[in-house]
Structure 1
Amino acid sequence: MSLTDQLNDIINSLGGFGPEVWLSVAFCGLLVAELVLGRVTPLSKVRRWLVGLSVGIVLVAGVWAVLLPTRGYLFMHLLFVDNQAIFIQLVVALSAVAVLLYEAFTTSERVDGQSKLPLEWYALLIAMTLGLFLMAMSVNLLSIYLSIELVSICSYLLTALTRERKASEGGVKYLLFGAVSSAIMLYGMSLLYGMTGTLDLTADVFGAELARQDGAIATVALLLTGAGLFFKLAGVPFHVWTPDAYEAAPVPVAAFFSVGPKAAAVLVLMRIVTALPAESVFGETPANSLQTPLAVLALAGILIGNLSALRQTDAKRLLAYSTIAHAGFLLVGVVAMSQAGFEAVFFYVGTYLFISLAAFFLVDLLARSAGSDLTISNFAGLGPKQPLLSVALTVVMLALTGLPPTVGFTAKLLSFSALYDAYQQSGNSWLLALFGLGLLNALISLVYYLKIPFLLFFRPTLSAENSQQVTQIPKVAVWLSVGLVIPIVGLFLKPEVLLHWLVNW
């Protein structure tokens, strides 16, 4: 391609790159606004200004992405805009808006008007949103790596942003595991480049050259490349950082970690899978296909997440292990490697947005109402004192388990139905093992998911002195958190609303 053609391609690509340019400029603008307003305005007013600006920035980016008329490749096949990318960008934008509003509402009614999070967190969240937007569009190994690193750097900083020692420890552990996963991912990418001669996943030569390689070697290279994706997905074996980072991070940050990076990472993983030649994916020998190792990793994530959560005493660590298990459930649809499986993944992502955010917000509000930390035993006896929050959290826990009448049941039903269809076609025994043990783990998860509701309604308050004491909590934050529960039940009753949009959009 001549230089003139390259310049024309870059200029034409700018039409589909508007939301990302907007987020980049807004990130710089927020940094300047923080410095300027901090000198002339009281801190509480500065925070209100930055909240309003941040929410507006993310909303504009989300709406712009949805209304974007441009579809196709950008910047010489570095990025690709399609409905799947826009859907993930919408999920990221909604989760960012939700955590920004929750942090603002829980801060506004504090006596001192202060937040645990410093002012820099708004700009960092915008930068992380930008990275996730880029991840959703990346179809080139170079753009995948750069966008993942942007998300990772912002994640490290957000985890260690507060002045607590636990935050520093969690941030360092996050950073160390992130560095290892990035190095492994780069090594895998170098192997793929050496095998195919291209970094473009969508190039015909990528699949053709990969099909000529030994199946086992190609599978190893692909798994090494997936290290960075599994790290952002909190998938086994790159999951060890999750409980410490979630426990160290403030609740809004941990809630965003549980949704945004997972949504973008699973889309990139699906793009890699769909770029593979059919004979490499559905080979006659299951050991030489990518389907079997992915099934093993999905099953390991479900088992490790659920079994580790059984003995947790801190609510945030419990939810962290829950996200590890749900990363395994997200992979179930990918393992199916079919259109139905991929649609189930998108449905799972769209519903997990409400379930995960509601879980973190409601747990935090109940702990605030008791004037205690997030130790699970402190939730005892809060049910009669906070009936609305307690009932809402019970519904959310049922959704995390995958029981009706919640959309968590529908999401798991679609994923495992696609998996069983894939097993009938391929006869791969690992798919059957994932199907059976994955469903069995729904029963195991009942033990720890219903632990908090059981304490809320069937156990007295631990301290007699605090039995009648209930701390006031922000009403707007309560309604925001309870409002997230409405789609959890509504989409169970009318799942076709989201399914029809995903299939026909």
Structure 2
Amino acid sequence: MSLTDQLNDIINSLGGFGPEVWLSASFCILLVAELLFVRGTSLLKARRWLAGLSVGIVVVAGIWAMLLPTRGHLFMHLLFVDNQAIFIQVVVALSAAMVLLYEAFTTSEQVNFQPKLPLEWYPLLIAMTLGLFMMTLSVNMLSIYLSIELVSICSYLLTALTADRKASEGGIKYLLFGAVSSAIMLYGMSLLYGMTGTLDLTADVFGAELAHQDTSVATVALLLTGAGLFFKLAGVPFHVWTPDAYEAAPVPVAAFFSVGPKAAAVLVLMRLVTALPTEPVLGGATASSLQTPLAVLALAGILIGNLSALRQTDAKRLLAYSTIAHAGFLLVGVVAMSQAGFEAVLFYVGTYLFISLAAFFLVDLLARSNGTDLTISNFAGLGPKQPLLSVALTVVMLALTGLPPTVGFTAKILSFSALYDAYQLSGNSWLLALFVLGLLNALISLVYYLKIPFLLFFRPMASTTDGQQSTSAPKAAIGLAVGLVIPIVILFLKPELLLHWLTNW
């Protein structure tokens, strides 16, 4: 391609890159605004202004992405815009807006339950959102790596941003595991480049050359490349950092970690799977070569997440292990390797946004109302005292389990239906094992998901000790958290509201 053609391609690509340019410029503006507000106003006013600006920035980015007319490759096949990428961008923007609003609503002079996030968290969250937007568009292994690193660096900083020892320890553990997964991913990418001669996952030569490679060698290279994706997904075996990082991070940060990176990572994983050939050449690698290892990893994530959650005494650590289990459930649709499976994954992501954020917000508000920390035993007897929050949390726990009348039931039905169809076509016994054991794990998860509702309504409240006093939870934060429960029920009654968007948009 001549230099003139390259310049024209870059100029034409800018039309589909608007939200990312907006987030990049906004990040720089927020850094300057932070300095100006700190010097010119009080800390509380500066926080309010920066929170308002940040919410406006991510909302504009999400709306811009939805209205984007451009589809196709950008910047000489570095990025690719399609409906799936735009859907994940909307999920990321919506989750970022929700956590920013929640942090703003719960930050006041009267609310001192946990250390306040410093003002630097606003530009860092915008930078992380930019990295997630880039991940959703990336189809070149170089752009995939760079966007994952941008997300990872912001994640490390957000985890260790508060000035306490637990946050520092959580950030260091997060960083160490992230460095290991990044190195493994780069090694896998170098192997794939050596096999195919290209970094572009959408290039015809990528699939054609992998089809000529030995199945075991190509599968190992692909799994090594997926290390960075499994790290962001909190999937086995790169899940060890999750409980410590979630416990160390403030609730808004942990809530965003549970949604944004998972949504972007699972889309990149689907792109990697669909880049593989469907038919082998002389016994070479195909998409079905990844079915068994992915099924094993999905099953391991479901089992480890659920079994580890049984013995947790801290609500945030319990939700952290819950996200590991749900990472396994997200992989169920990917393992199916069908159009129905991929649509089920996107539906799961879209609904998990409301379920996960509501879970983190509600347990935090209940703890605030009791003036205690997030130890599960402290929730005893709060049901009559906080009936609205308690009923809402019970609905959310049912959704996390996958029981009606919540959309968690619908999401799991769609995923496992696609998995069973894939088993009937392939006869792979690992798919059947994932199907049976995955559904049985719903019974295991009942034990710990319903533990908090049981304590809320059927155990007496412990006496207040150590000078802890009850405080009234902010009404705006309560409205936001309870409002997130409404789509969980509505999408169970009318799942076509989201399915129609996914299939026809």
Superposition TM-score, scaled by structure 2 size: 0.97
**Separation (CA, whole Å) in 2 of partners of 1:287 and 1:487:** 35
Distance 1:196 1:378, change over 3 A: same
Superposed counterparts of 1:352-371, under 5 Å: 352-371=352-371
Instruction: Indicate the SS of the match to 1:279.
Output: coil
Equivalent-residue separation in structure 2 for 1:3 and 1:407 (angstroms): 51
Question: Relative to structure 1, is the Cα distance of residues 453 and 309 closer, same or farther in structure 2, using a 3 angstrom cutoff?
Answer: same
Aligned residue runs from structure 1 range 262-341, under 5 A: 262-279=262-279, 289-341=289-341
The one-letter amino acid of 2:219's match is: T
The one-letter amino acid of 2:99's match is V
Return the alpha-carbon distance in structure 2 between the equivalents of residues 217 and 474 of structure 1: 56
CA distance in 1, matches of 2:107, 2:115: 6
Cα distance in 2 for partners of 1:474, 1:111 equals 8
CA distance in 2, matches of 1:111, 1:345: 38
* Aligned CA distance change for structure 1 residues 111 and 415 (closer, same or farther; 3 Å): closer
**Long gaps (5+) in structure 1:** none
User: Which 4+ residue blocks in structure 1 deviate beyond 3 angstroms?
Assistant: 111-115, 283-288
Partner of 1:50: 50
The residue aligned with 1:172 is: 172
Any idea what the Cα deviations from partners look like across 1:338-362, whole Å, max 9, x if unmatched?
0000000000000000000000000
Equivalent residue runs for 1:430-469 within 5 Å: 430-463=430-463
Q: Shift of residue 308 of structure 1? A: 0.2
* Aligned CA distance change for structure 1 residues 111 and 404 (closer, same or farther; 3 Å): closer
Cα deviation, 1:105-152, whole Å, max 9, x if unaligned, reads: 000362679961000000000000000000000000000000000000
Match of 2:482 in 1: 482
Quote the Cα distance in structure 1 between the aligned partners of 2:125 and 2:143: 20
Structure 2 CA distance for aligned equivalents of residues 302 and 377 of structure 1: 25
Q: Given residue 124 of structure 2, which amino acid in structure 1 is its aligned partner?
A: L
Partners of 2:465 and 2:151 lie apart in 1 by 45
Listed one character per residue, the Cα deviations across residues 187-209 of structure 1 (whole Å, up to 9, x for unaligned) are 00000000000000000000000
**How many angstroms apart in 1 are the aligned matches of 2:323 and 2:280?**
30
After superposition, the CA RMSD in angstroms is 1.9
Structure 2 Cα separation of the partners of residues 244 and 464 of structure 1: 27
Q: 2 CA distance for matches of 1:464 and 1:477? A: 24
Q: How many Å separate the matches in 1 of 2:261 and 2:308? A: 22
Q: Aligned to 1:80, what secondary structure does the other structure show? A: strand
Match of 2:252 in 1: 252
> Partners in 1 of 2:226 and 2:143 — Cα distance?
14
Structure 2 SS opposite 1:269: helix
Q: 3-state SS of the aligned residue for 2:382?
A: coil
| Cα deviation digits, residues 162-209 of structure 1 (max 9, x gap) | 001000000000000000000000000000000000000000000000
Number of the residue aligned with 1:149:
149
What count of residue pairs does the alignment treat as equivalent?
504
Counterpart CA distance in 2 for 1:218 and 1:347 is 30
Aligned-partner Cα distance in 2 for 1:115–1:77: 44
1:36, distance to aligned residue in structure 2 (A): 1.3
- Give CA deviations for 1:76-107 in whole Å, capped at 9, x if unaligned: 00000010000000000000000000000000
Structure-2 change in CA distance of 1:105 and 1:69 (3 Å): same
| Whole-angstrom distance in 1 between the partners of 2:435 and 2:111 | 51
In the alignment, is the contact (CA less than 8 A) between 1:355 and 1:396 conserved in 2? yes
Q: Quick check: 1:61 aligned with 2:97?
A: no
Structure 1 equivalent of residue 501 of structure 2: 501
Residues 112 and 286 of structure 1: CA distance in aligned 2, closer, same or farther (over 3 Å):
closer
Give, in whole Å, the separation in 1 of the partners of 2:42 and 2:287: 63
Cα offset, 1:284, TM superposition: 10
Q: Within 5 Å, which residues of 2 pair with 1:13-412?
A: 13-108=13-108, 110=110, 116-279=116-279, 289-412=289-412
3-state DSSP of counterpart to 1:185: helix
Q: Secondary structure at the match of 1:384?
A: helix
- 8 Å CA contact 2:213, 2:285 repeated in 1: no
Q: 1:44 to 1:291 in 2, by over 3 A?
A: same
Distance 1:317 1:163 in 2: 20
* Distance in 1 separating the partners of 2:213 and 2:328: 29
User: The residue matched to 2:56 in structure 1 has which SS?
Assistant: helix
Once residues 160 and 367 of structure 1 are traced to their aligned partners in structure 2, the CA distance between those partners, rounded to angstroms, is 22
Are the counterparts in 2 of residues 159 and 170 from structure 1 also a CA contact under 8 Å? yes
Structure 2 distance, partners of 1:56, 1:469, is: 35
Q: CA deviation at 1:469?
A: 6.4
- Kindly state the Cα deviation for residue 465 of structure 1 after the two structures are TM-superposed: 6.5
Report the Cα distance in structure 2 between the residues aligned to 1:473 and 1:104, rounded to whole angstroms.
Answer: 13
1:285 to 1:224, Cα distance in 2 relative to 1, 3 A: closer
Following TM superposition, by how much is the alpha carbon of 1:72 offset from its aligned partner in structure 2, in angstroms?
Answer: 0.6
Q: Distance in 2 between matches of 1:345 and 1:289?
A: 20
Whole-Å Cα distance in 2 between the matches of residues 106 and 191 of structure 1?
Answer: 48
Q: How big is each residue's C-alpha offset from its partner over 1:461-480, in whole Å with a ceiling of 9 and x where there is no partner? A: 122669x9642110000010
Stretch deviating more after TM superposition (418-427 or 470-479): 470-479
Contact 1:109 1:474 in 2 (8 A): no
Give 3-state SS (helix, strand or coil) of 2:383's partner: coil
**d(CA) in 2 for partners of 1:434 and 1:309?**
19
TM-score normalized with structure 1 length: 0.97
**Equivalents in 2 of 1:133, 1:342: separation in Å?**
19
Q: 1:30 to 1:464 in 2, by over 3 A?
A: closer
Whole-Å separation in 2 of the counterparts to 1:436 and 1:82: 34
Compared with structure 1, are the counterparts of its residues 457 and 121 closer, same or farther at alpha carbon in structure 2 (3 Å cutoff)?
A: same
CA distance in 2, matches of 1:287, 1:353: 29
Q: Is the 8 A contact 1:286 1:292 kept in 2?
A: no
Give the secondary structure class of the aligned counterpart of 1:110. coil
Contact 1:280 1:290 in 2 (8 A): no
- Counterparts of 2:61 and 2:32, CA distance in 1: 20
